């Protein structure tokens, strides 16, 4: 079991994360690196709240490629670069030559001559890996169909703020297990010593390879990973309950089918009776009230979804500082 988490002053501490490292999935980072990122995120958040300057990226430029629409990812990265003293450029795939057939490798090589880092929000995880392979600057995964690591860093930061620790807590994820949130939550949980249970219909279980690897990591950090089709079993004694939309971008034609398949996985007051009395509710947003979560839960006292949304900014500033500074 990991020791209880304690915030460290990182202002004079050399980063243990190599400058120039890509941020593609949490499995690529050690427990120490993830905890270091959380330390830096809290430090930067405190500086902002106190109005203290923290222009660690003065003169740096982040190129942001978007093939999927976004609210939180775009605004948090753009504002984050500004607050760190740098600049961000929004690059729609429709505006780039990518939209006209230029290869990912050529795009990576060209952008590397102009910017200090690239953030991409897209569909295929293979595209992000190819971009990182050919870029000579850090590449940050802002979301793919397989992983959403920047969101989960914000989730871990939010849980840490409200619970005072991560190790030993039980997280429960309900809904579509074969999506980016479930995969990155598994990776983040086992790296920080949290237990995680995922409840999904049989045809929507998490990626087997990602699950197997998470279980292996859990053996070293004291984390238990459980995958089930029973939502009540998964939510029993949970400290944190997480869900996501049942129909992600690109799956719109499956909406009616998914509404029926996931109906019993809705996070509502009845299901949450099986969790701990002081459970937290998280959702990466946007949310569909009355579908994956009831209004009573997401707008109720257990919900920290807007703290979670704010923490996208602080967690991503830590990532940007450590990779680009």
Residue 13's pLDDT is: 55
Catalytic residue among 36, 148, 302, 314: 148
Binding residues for L-ornithine: 180, 244, 248-249
Catalytic residue list contains 283? no
Catalytic residue among 183, 244, 272, 316: 244
For residue 189, pLDDT beyond 50:
yes
Residue 14's pLDDT is: 62
Catalytic residue among 25, 42, 151, 316: 151
Cβ(237)–Cβ(172) below 8 Å: no
Residue 260's pLDDT is: 97
Cross-strand bridge partners of residue 65: 91, 120
- Say how far apart CA 5 and CA 143 lie, in whole Å: 27
Q: Which residue has the tokens 């939550």?
A: 185
Residues 6 or more apart in contact with residue 144 via CB below 8 angstroms: 122, 123, 124, 125, 127, 128, 180
Average pLDDT for the chain = 94
Cβ(112)–Cβ(136) below 8 Å: yes
pLDDT, tens digit, 9 for 90 and up, residues 141-152: 999 999 999 999
Residue 144's pLDDT is: 97
pTM value is 0.95
Residue 4's pLDDT is: 45
Quick one: tokens of 296? 């009573």
Residue 18's pLDDT is: 80
- Of residues 14 and 187, the one with the higher pLDDT is 187
- Say how far apart CA 76 and CA 284 lie, in whole Å: 13
Catalytic residue list contains 289? no
What pairing do the DSSP bridges indicate for beta strands 61-66 and 117-121?
parallel
CA distances from 152 to 122, 183, 204 (A): 17, 10, 20
- With a pLDDT cut of 90, the percent of the chain lying above it is 89
Catalytic residue list contains 113? no
- Say how far apart CA 277 and CA 57 lie, in whole Å: 43
pLDDT, tens digit, 9 for 90 and up, residues 42-67: 999 999 999 999 999 999 999 999 99
Binding residues: 70-73, 97, 121, 148-151, 180, 244, 248-249, 284-285, 312
- Say how far apart CA 25 and CA 144 lie, in whole Å: 10
- Say how far apart CA 44 and CA 83 lie, in whole Å: 10
For residue 24, pLDDT beyond 50:
yes
Catalytic residue list contains 148? yes
Catalytic residue among 176, 239, 284, 314: 284
For residue 11, pLDDT beyond 60:
no
- Say how far apart CA 195 and CA 181 lie, in whole Å: 16
pLDDT, tens digit, 9 for 90 and up, residues 122-143: 999 999 999 999 999 999 999 9
Report, in angstroms and rounded to the nearest whole number, the Rg of the chain calculated over CA atoms: 19
Catalytic residue among 25, 42, 116, 121: 121
Catalytic residue list contains 172? no
The confidence band for 293, taking pLDDT boundaries of 50, 70 and 90, is very high
For residue 99, pLDDT beyond 80:
no
Catalytic residue list contains 284? yes
For residue 97, pLDDT beyond 90:
no
């Amino acid at each position: 079991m990991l020791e209880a988490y304690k915030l460290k002053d990182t202002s004079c501490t050399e980063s243990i994360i190599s400058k120039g490292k890509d941020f593609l999935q949490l499995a690529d980072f050690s427990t120490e690196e993830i905890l270091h990122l959380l330390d830096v995120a809290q430090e930067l958040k405190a500086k902002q709240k106190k109005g203290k300057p923290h222009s660690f990226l003065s003169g740096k430029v982040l190129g942001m490629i978007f093939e999927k629409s976004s609210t939180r990812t775009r605004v948090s990265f753009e504002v984050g670069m500004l607050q760190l003293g740098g600049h961000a450029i929004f690059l729609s795939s429709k505006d780039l030559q990518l939209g006209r057939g230029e290869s990912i490798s050529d795009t990576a090589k060209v952008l590397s001559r102009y910017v200090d880092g690239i953030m991409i929000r897209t569909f295929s995880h293979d595209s992000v890996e190819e971009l990182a392979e050919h870029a000579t600057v850090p590449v940050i995964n802002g979301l793919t169909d397989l992983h959403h690591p920047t969101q989960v860093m914000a989730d871990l930061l939010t849980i840490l703020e409200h619970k005072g620790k991560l190790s030993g807590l039980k997280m429960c994820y309900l809904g579509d297990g074969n999506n980016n949130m479930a995969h990155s939550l598994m990776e983040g949980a086992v790296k920080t010593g949290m237990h995680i249970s995922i409840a999904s219909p049989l045809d929507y279980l998490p990626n087997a390879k990602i699950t197997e690897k998470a279980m292996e990591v859990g053996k070293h950090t004291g984390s238990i990973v459980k995958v089930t089709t029973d939502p009540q079993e998964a939510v029993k004694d949970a400290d944190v309950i997480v869900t996501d939309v049942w129909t992600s971008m690109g799956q719109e034609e499956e909406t009616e089918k998914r509404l029926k398949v996931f109906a019993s996985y809705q996070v509502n007051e009845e299901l949450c009776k099986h969790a701990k009395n002081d459970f937290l509710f998280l959702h990466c947003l946007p949310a569909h009230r009355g579908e994956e979560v009831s209004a009573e839960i997401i707008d109720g006292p257990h919900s920290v979804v807007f703290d979670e949304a704010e923490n996208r900014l602080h967690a991503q500033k830590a990532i940007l500082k450590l990779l680009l500074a």
